[in-house]
Amino acid sequence: MLSVEDVSLYYGSSRALRGVSVTAAAGEVTCVLGRNGVGKSSLLRAITGQRPISGGRITLEGKEIDGLRPYDRAALGVAYVPQGREIFPLLTVKENLETGFAPLKRKDRSIPEDVFDLFPVLKSMLGRRGGDLSGGQQQQLAIGRALVTRPKLLVLDEPTEGIQPSIIKDIGRAIRYLRDKGTMAIVLVEQYFDFAQELADRFIVMERGEVVESGDAKALEGDDVRQRLHF
């Protein structure tokens, strides 16, 4: 589904990604692991088009997307749950969800019931302004909002950050549910190792803007990867 090949990315003159390659397949969760500041979010920014890349290739279902604008990528089925949630603060919860209608055909413009099944709190707060929600509520909204676009590729940046344990479990269930539908590829950046381990089908570990290890879920069981994440 998604293939990232040899991608580099700069902030001014500082290089955040150096020849990173990763792939994600439909019906699988690909986990990106790594310590703070190694470039995990930068990789997702490259995939979603929030930041231009300076080298390499990104393709989605064989189609090159690295030259496309974020909204064109969204139209092709890329949905993004950013780190820091980035809720539209003055829009109500309902309106936040409805922003996901933009890339959809008119007939598809409804909020899938899944969203409210996964995050019932959203249903009870439809009329409240997004910015007024608590941190965890916003995180749920951000995931819900991404799902409204019916993505083919769901990109999540630390979605458990600031979320209460029961809902982390719910999110885990949600991700598994989405994966099991088999149509969606999921890229998950996660620091919370146990959570990642539970969900990942495949993973990469990053260090200083490079992929230093990758493999499938089994490899996570050893202490190897855990070690890499320590100082």
Partner 1 sequence: MRLIGLRGATLGLLIAIATLLGGPASPASADPVDDALARFAADKYDETDKAIEGLVAASAQNGQAIFEAMSAGRLLYDPESKTVLIKDAGGALVLAKTGDPAPQALAAKPLKTVRLNNRVRRSLEAASGAFALQAPDPQKRIGAARAIFKTREPTALPAIEAALAKEKDASAKQALEAAKAAIILARQDAPEADRIAAADIVAAVGDQDALAALRTLPANTPPAVKQAAEAGVASIERWLGVANVVQDVTYGVSLGSVLLLAAIGLAITFGVMGVINMAHGEMVMIGAYATFLTQGFIRDYVPALSGASLILAIPVAFLVAGAVGVLIERTVIRFLYGRPLETLLATWGVSLILQQAVRSVFGPTNREVQTPEWLQGSVSFLGVSLTWNRIAIVLFAMAVFFALMLLLKRTSLGLRVRAVTQNRRMAASMGIRTPWVDAMTFGLGSGVAGIAGVALSQIDNVSPNLGQSYIIDSFLVVVFGGVGNLWGTLVGALSIGVANKLLEPFAGAVLGKIILLVAIILFIQKKPRGLFALKGRAVEA
Partner 2 sequence: MAIGGLTTNALLYLDNVSVTFDGFRALNALSLSIDAQEMRAIIGPNGAGKTTMMDVITGKTRPNQGVAVFEASHDLTKLDEASIAELGIGRKFQTPTVFEMHTVEDNILLALKTDRRPFPTLFSKRTKAEKERIDALLERVRLTGSRDRKAGELSHGQKQWLEIGMLLAQEPKLLLVDEPAAGMTDQETADTADLLREIAKTASVVVVEHDMVFVRDLGVKVTCLHEGSVLAEGSLDAVSTNERVVEVYLGR
Partner 3 sequence: MSRYRFLDGAGMIFLAVVLAMAALIPASNLLLPPDSWLHVPDHMVPLLGKYLAFAMLALALDLVWGYCGILSLGHGAFFALGGYAMGMYLMRQIGPRGVYGNPVLPDFMVFLNWTELPWFWLGFDHFWFALLMVVLVPGALAFCFGWLAFRSRVTGVYLSIITQALTFALMLAFFRNDMGFGGNNGLTDFKDILGFPVQAQGTRAALFALTAFALAGSYLLSRWVVTSKLGKVVVAIRDAESRSRFIGYRVEHYKLVVFTLSAMLAGIAGALYVPQVGIINPSEFAPANSIEAVIWVAVGGRGTLVGAALGAFLVNAGKTWFTGVLPSMWLFALGGLFVLTTLLLPKGVVGLITDLFGIRRKSELPAPTAPAAPAKAAPAE
| DSSP secondary structure string for all residues of 32-52 | EEE-TTSSHHHHHHHHHTSS-
Contact between 88 and partner 3 by CB under 8 A: the answer reads no
Indicate which single residue of 30, 41, 48, 140 sits in contact with ligand ATP (rule: CB under 6 A): 41
The DSSP element (H or E) to which 71 belongs, if any, is helix 70-76
User: Which one of residues 163, 184, 185, 225 is an interface residue with partner 2 (CB under 8 A)?
Assistant: 163
Indicate which single residue of 35, 129, 169, 208 sits in contact with partner 3 (rule: CB under 8 A).
Answer: 208
> For 220, which DSSP code?
G
For ligand ATP, the binding residue among 27, 112, 136, 172 (CB under 6 A) is 136
State in angstroms the smallest separation of the CB of 53 from partner 2.
Answer: 18
In Å, how far are 59, 91, 97, 101, 163 from 130, measured between CA atoms? 33, 6, 10, 17, 16
Q: Report the site for ligand ATP in 139-158 (rule: CB under 6 A).
A: none
13 binds ligand ATP (CB under 6 A): no
68 contributes a contact to partner 3 by CB under 8 A: yes
Tokens representing 25 are: 């397949």
Helices 135-148, 165-181: axis angle to 10 degrees equals 10
In sequence order, the β-bridge partners of residue 204 are 32, 214
Q: How far apart are the first and last CA of the chain?
A: 34
Which parts of this chain interact with ligand ATP (CB under 6 A)? Answer: 11, 14, 16, 34, 36-42, 83, 132-137, 162
Which parts of this chain interact with partner 1 (CB under 8 A)? Answer: 48-50, 69-71, 73-75, 78-80, 82, 86-91, 95, 98-104, 129-132, 145, 149
